[in-house]
Structure 1
Amino acid sequence: MSTSMRVMELVRFGAADTAFAARELPRPTPGPGQVLVRVLATSVNPLDLQTRRGDYRDQVALPTVIGNDVSGVVVETGPGADDFQPGDEVWYLAPIFAGQGTYAEYHVVDQALAARKPARLSHVEAAGLALVGVTVWEALVERAAVRVGERVLVHGGAGGVGSAAIQLAGALGAEVVTTARSKDHEFVKGLGADIAIDFSTGDYVPQVRALGGVDVVLDTVGGDTLTRSPEVLADRGRVVSLVDIPEPQNLLAAWGVNATYHFVFASPGRAKLEALGRLVDRGELRPMIGAVLPLADIAEAHTLLEGGSTGEGRRRPRGKIAIAVHPLDQQPHGTGASARKS
């Protein structure tokens, strides 16, 4: 095995087309309780865009390798790492802002954070689900404690997080309302959304209130969502936000409905991955992969996720943008949306 590895390193904060450089770095060595994973796939998330822009520059020293999703194969184990053997297929969410990221051919992780990859998923699918899956699990199960028969409003249902949240809320027995552009309504209803509202053609609040309101709001879009959520919440409703919101917002109306607000920054863990894997095995959750790009095109992947167009005229796809780090087993197995390899 080579002692070096290829990475896409973040060398400067700012625009995607100047932020990254291809580098050869020493291949990491697993320490006690750790495993070395050959990264077959990773993905791009809004957190990566924020990191690249410099939103977290106090926590990120340049140059560095970013990225948090991994699906791959264990190639080496450290002392005391007995949960896995070389050749095991694993997936995980890497610790955020702690150690090397996942835009790399190899990655070291504490074995307690990794889980065996669900057999129904290809590596690109598993990589596309790790961070968003853990995030929506924390949001809807651990924080909002969604119950059977409740109504959940998922903002941004056609996105990577929203598409997973619609499915998880449905699996929990909730009625799902989501906001999405009209061109995406068939897509989100195919995921299990009961009602889709076009946020681009009118105010979503009166439409949600006409339904009788909701018990839970999942905010994936930011803006004035926190301020307006009490307008659609039932008494003792819950709001879960996944978005950094630097501007002050007036939450006075939240007292009128006894609202509870939660703010989620996902934390890795095997138990959450195993719970998600059981939903995958039962056919209740499938990753939605809108595009697959090679590691060398990480800047293009960032541009697509930001909603820009590439030199080939491609625009942001529905669902997740996955990154094929190695060519092994990269096409989806048919459980997610069709992916186009670049």
Structure 2
Amino acid sequence: MQSTGCNGVSWLRKCVLQAARRNYAASVNVTPAGSTGKEEQHLPPATPTKSLEKMRGWQMHSYGDIDELLLSDNLKTPQIRSSNECLVRVRTTAVNPIDLAMLRGYGATVLNKLRCQPGGGIEFPLTLGREFCGELVQKGMAVTSEALKLGARVWGVVPVHASPGAHAEYVAVPSYCLAPAPKLLDDSEAASVLYAGLTAWSGLYITGGLGGVCGATTSAGGGAHKRVLVLGGSGGVGTLAIQILKSQGAQVLATCSENAVEMVRGLGADFVVDYKNSEAMDELCKYAPYDIVLDCAGHGGAHAADLKFDYRQYITFSSPLLANIDQQGLGLGAIKNMVDLVQTNVKSLTQRGGLVKWGFFNPAPHGIAFLQQLVRQRKLTPLIDSSFGFEDMPKAFERMKCGHLRGKIVVKL
């Protein structure tokens, strides 16, 4: 038994020494004596990987004008905070009207309460950006969708209250805000669809009930033989709204600037008029009443009763909801919102026989699925007004500030 124990100790000592030689040899890149080196041939070479701890991104530290935007290369990369979140490396993003409005402080009272963690009250710094196309690099354990694989090319949106947004190298979003990017679209096109597309879809199908219950709760769409007038048909939301409606068999009329009439007609609109031409605008009366008048031009609900034709619904994306709360506070602002909605509807019903409603962006998964389906069927193609490099983000905001867009503004990283 004594001999056996000694042999065991000797064998163990020999194994330890051999392992030490192999580790030392690997550190100095030589082959240990007595070894052929074949035991290492299947190991992959050690290659350095880029740290995800820091990233580049645009921030604002106070509300104001475009000069408040600051580029930093030392921002902390967003962390996945829940099991249903995903981290995406952004390739292309976009600038939307909501970004410019939030830069100026729009919705600060409500949105800051939503974005701050319990016990915290830190409002700044903020990173804007509501949509993107990029590469999925991390995901939470509850993200089990086969479509969302690591390394997949994806498109997605950032909820309005969430920060940081997509104007950075990385963004973290809930998995329901994410889907595989359509192969028919390049990165710039894919980054130009979801925010404006989901805004138009939500206004038509959730607020407007265009497709009934199925249209609001599934990706079924609907709206055949309905007559819809799109005010502001050449902008980001308007161009997609027209294509959505035509894909569903609706009759579409639209207004825009004179120099955009042919472009909007090319999207499929059945009748297009220059909104500055009073005689042409009078022609719209011949098609009334409209099932929906969709305000994509920012007129607001007060404009509804001033129209010369009847409608069943007037849906605007320029509601006073957040602005009233910003100005009056939560309590008085909520009362002001109720008063405004009642007053505009009384006037609208009395003069035009229809209701005024407020439409909002909604990051619904079935809305994303609906837009994906239209892209696959080649019934929806985003229009790009202009494209900028990441370092030129302020120029993209300047273009948004100038207005009269012909599609979306994209920013490439």
User: TM range, normalised to the smaller chain?
Assistant: 0.7 to 0.9
C-alpha spacing 1:191/1:5, structure 2 compared with 1 (3 Å): same
Contact 1:68 1:95 in 2 (8 A): yes
Contact 2:230 2:253 in 1 (8 A): yes
Deviation, 1:271, is 1.6
1:30 aligns with 2:107: no
Contact 1:92 1:270 in 2 (8 A): no
Q: What is residue 149 of structure 1 aligned with on the other side?
A: 225
Structure 1, unaligned stretches of length 5 or more?
309-315, 326-342
Contact 1:226 1:251 in 2 (8 A): no
TM-score by length of 2: 0.72
SS at match of 1:233: coil
1:122 aligns with 2:122: no
Deviation, 1:27, is 1.4
RMSD over equivalenced CA pairs, Å: 2.0
* Aligned partner of 2:371 among 271, 276, 279: 276
Q: What is residue 335 of structure 1 aligned with on the other side?
A: none
1:323 aligns with 2:411: yes
Distance (Å, rounded) in 2 between the aligned partners of 1:317 and 1:156: 10
Distance (Å, rounded) in 2 between the aligned partners of 1:25 and 1:34: 20
- The structure whose residues are more often helix, as a share, is 2
Deviation, 1:36, is 0.9
Moved more, 178-187 or 252-261: 252-261
Contact 1:92 1:130 in 2 (8 A): yes
Deviation, 1:151, is 1.3
1:202 aligns with 2:278: yes
Q: What is residue 317 of structure 2 aligned with on the other side?
A: 242
By relative contact order (CA 8 Å, sep 6+), the higher-ranking structure is: 1
Moved more, 4-13 or 59-68: 59-68
1:252 aligns with 2:330: no
SS at match of 1:214: coil
- The structure whose residues are more often strand, as a share, is 1
Contact 2:345 2:355 in 1 (8 A): no
* Aligned partner of 1:7 among 44, 47, 57: 57
Q: What is residue 183 of structure 1 aligned with on the other side?
A: 259
Distance (Å, rounded) in 1 between the aligned partners of 2:280 and 2:345: 18
Contact 2:78 2:164 in 1 (8 A): no
SS at match of 1:306: helix
Deviation, 1:118, is 1.0
Larger radius of gyration: 2
Task: Give, as a single letter, the amino acid of the residue that structure 2 aligns with 1:219.
Answer: D
TM-score by length of 1: 0.86
Q: What is residue 331 of structure 2 aligned with on the other side?
A: none
Report matched runs for 1:130-149 at 5 Å.
130-146=194-210, 147-149=223-225
Q: What is residue 309 of structure 2 aligned with on the other side?
A: 232
C-alpha spacing 1:117/1:192, structure 2 compared with 1 (3 Å): same
1:169 aligns with 2:245: yes
Q: What is residue 165 of structure 2 aligned with on the other side?
A: 101
* Aligned partner of 1:86 among 128, 150, 157: 150
Q: What is residue 49 of structure 1 aligned with on the other side?
A: 100
Quick one: percent identity of the two aligned structures? 28
Deviation, 1:204, is 6.3
Contact 1:101 1:107 in 2 (8 A): yes
Matched positions, count:
314
Deviation, 1:205, is 5.2
Contact 1:160 1:320 in 2 (8 A): yes
